[in-house]
Amino acid sequence: MTRRRTSELGQKQGRASAFWGLNLALALALAGVPGVTALDNGLALTPTMGWLHWERFTCNVDCVEDPQNCISEQLFMQMAELMVSEGWKDAGYEYVCIDDCWLADERDENGRLVADPKRFPNGIHHLANFVHSKGLKLGIYQDVGNYTCAGYPGSFGYYDIDAKTFADWGVDLLKFDGCYANDFESLVEGYKYMSFALNQTGRSILYSCEWPLYSRPFQEPNYTEIRQYCNHWRNYDDIFDSWSSVKNILSWTASKQENLVPAAGPGGWNDPDMLVIGNFGLSWDQQVTQMALWAIMAAPLFMSNDLRHISPQSKALLQNKDVIAINQDPLGQQGYRLRKEDDFEVWERPLSDLAWAVAVLNHKELGGPRNYALSTNVLGKGLGCAPACNITQILPVKKELGLYEWLSQFKVRVNPTGTVLLKLQPFK
């Protein structure tokens, strides 16, 4: 069986050499060290890691019927405590982030934002102090337009006041949404202005934008420009707790990778949205796929799950040190899809010390695990294993695959909708 697949692959490779030439050109084009200036606030030198309430807790404001799950200071305090006691902080997750629906319906008499007094009785400053006392950081949410997406007061017309309010409260990150901005001009100017307003506060506040997502209907985003103002930026639709959502984000990202990949680097990252691992919608193999590919994409890792109720298996995956090390690799180059054939996808990402991460995803939603054979000479721009490399399987379980010479073949066995993540290290 294996033998037959390998020889089939050999024949295909002969026929497909023109295709490979193109792919190699693409890989080289994507390889450039980001020559693009990042926002100069010293933050997000590696992708941001933390927890964000939106996907799991959405806009649940009913603390009477559902006190354990409503958006309230208690929810964030519980998450902050668990982040420390359950090893999340040690694994690198640092920012506890509030999304939409934290606000009262009106600003105060001085035009300052107010948290909902019932759900945040002690206010955001108090919550920030609590989060800081745990050695963690606090993230908050606002919107560039007249309202937040859920209809609370937006920041338009109040950028300076809101930036100052967040700084006074001790906020460490702002997620700035893009709803209710009527025109392209106000959207772009608003995102730039808030970046400036945050800087003017003198407090280091990480700036998470949705600028390209909302400006794309008007024109193709200019990532050189966006990178000068934002620490990361959402490009595509909100994630849902489903395989189709994860799959759409991956295929959209691959389709735009020639623009997206060169934009990423220390200080500024493409944000494919939250990790939904540990919830209801993804099978085990699909959770492995999300973790592996978010590492390949150098994505910010914001979990949106319930840290009070999470399976040991999902927790181990989210805290896996080897995958996190790939995500956080100091070289800071985003990976890309190298190949798509026979319902498999191969992605690769250059790492520091001439190492490479390689992910093989099996898209076939029929049958059982399938073998995929790879030639070492196609990985790492053809040189990942020249003259030889050590290959370690990182996911789904760690396993040493051994030493491979250039021009040798190896195979991986991948479950339907699952991923095998490998690390290639040059043999010295």
Binding site residues, ligand NAG, CB under 6 A:
40-41, 145-146, 156, 181-182, 186, 199, 202, 204, 222, 224-225
Least distance from ligand NAG to the Cβ atom of residue 368, Å: 48
Nearer to ligand NAG, 265 or 350 (CB): 265
Q: Of 186 and 242, which CB lies nearer to ligand NAG in the complex structure?
A: 186
Smallest gap from residue 416 Cβ to ligand NAG (A): 42
Measured CA to CA, the distance from residue 386 to residue 252 in angstroms comes to 32
Are the C-beta atoms of 101 and 62 separated by less than 8 Å? Answer: no
Contacts of 333 (CB under 8 A, 6+ apart): 31, 33, 34, 261, 264, 265, 298, 349, 350
> Which CB sits closer to ligand NAG, 14 or 202?
202
Minimum CB–partner distance for residue 229 and ligand NAG (Å): 10
Q: Closest approach of Cβ 43 to ligand NAG, in Å? A: 8
**Has 177 been annotated as catalytic?**
yes
- 238 in catalytic set: yes
Q: What is the spatial distance between Cα 81 and Cα 48, in angstroms, rounded to a whole number? A: 19
Closest CB 188 distance from ligand NAG, rounded Å: 10
Per annotation, catalytic residue among 160, 168, 238, 343: 238
Nearer to ligand NAG, 41 or 371 (CB): 41
- The minimum distance between CB 381 and ligand NAG, in angstroms, equals 27
Cβ closest to ligand NAG, residue 78 vs residue 222: 222
Show Cβ contacts of residue 236 under 8 Å, excluding neighbours closer than 6 positions. 213, 248, 249, 252, 253, 272, 273
Nearer to ligand NAG, 56 or 227 (CB): 227
The residue from 99, 116, 162, 177 that is catalytic is: 177
Residue owning tokens 């190699």: 24
Closest listed residue to residue 423, CA positions, set 404, 267, 303, 96: 404
Q: Active-site positions?
A: 177, 238
